[in-house]
Amino acid sequence: MIKAFRLSAAAIGMSGLLLTSSIAAADGVAGFEAYEKGDYATALKEFMPLAESGQASAEAAVGQMYFEGKGVKPDMKEAARWLEPAASKGIARAQFLLGKLYLSGEGVASPDPVKAAALTKAAADQGLVEAQVDTCAFYYQGVGVPKDLVQAYLYANLAAQAGSEDGRSILTLLSQDMKPEDVAKGEAAVRAWKPVLPDIQDPNVQ
């Protein structure tokens, strides 16, 4: 049994995330450079006009900065405000973080594990490794989705292939916990899996 694997704020990493792809995709080099230097106030100032114009990657960047408290005080309600539109446009990082908020209930009307699982899976299906690990947890524990060890195996395997130590550890435990025929189904699912990449079309981007 996977006794040490728990779907909680601590276990799924509510802090210490990097902006990475969200900022890299934003049309704001000055903001990205400021963020890399640790000048978060300047980074936020650069990203905010882009976010206000509806650019998905900038919305995700601003939302994540409010989520992490970089350049501003942590504010989960404000984080959700910016992550929601970015997630709806298909930004994987925004989907992942917004899923955490819906799981905990912070910054949103109320906890919604079904929505949390759906958002996290959407990010996982784009190949975001942290989301793949968390999606495995949702399926293993039956939180927001029906309990499904085959699906848990799929996402743990994908994360392990991408180099996640958590994914490798979970995969080992799942392999010991599952029937051989279910492991075979999981392997088949891994072979059939393909990333689902959204067509993100930002306004005001030349």
pLDDT tens for each residue of 151-185: 999 999 999 999 999 999 999 999 999 999 999 99
pLDDT tens for each residue of 112-129: 999 999 999 999 999 999
- Cβ of 108: how many Cβ atoms within 10 Å? 21
- Looking at the 3D structure of the chain, how many domains does it have? 1
Q: Which of 71, 44, 48, 194 is nearest to 127 (CA)?
A: 194
Is 3 inside a domain boundary?
A: no
Helix axes 165-177, 129-141, angle to 10 degrees: 30
Q: What is the value of pTM for the model shown?
A: 0.86
C-alpha 166/C-alpha 157 separation (Å) is 10
Helix, strand, coil distribution of the chain in percent, nearest 5: 65, 0, 35
Is 9 inside a domain boundary?
A: no
Residue 177 sits in which domain range? 20-192
Is 11 inside a domain boundary?
A: no
C-alpha 197/C-alpha 171 separation (Å) is 25
Query: What does pLDDT average to in each consecutive run of 10 residues of the chain (206 residues)?
Result: 39 39 57 91 94 94 97 97 97 98 98 98 98 98 98 98 97 96 98 93 59
Backbone angles phi, psi at 16, to 5 degrees: 80, 15
Q: Are 23 and 30 in contact (CB under 8 A)?
A: no
Is 205 inside a domain boundary?
A: no
Is 131 inside a domain boundary?
A: yes
Is 4 inside a domain boundary?
A: no
Residue 121: CATH number of its domain: 1.25.40.10
Is 166 inside a domain boundary?
A: yes
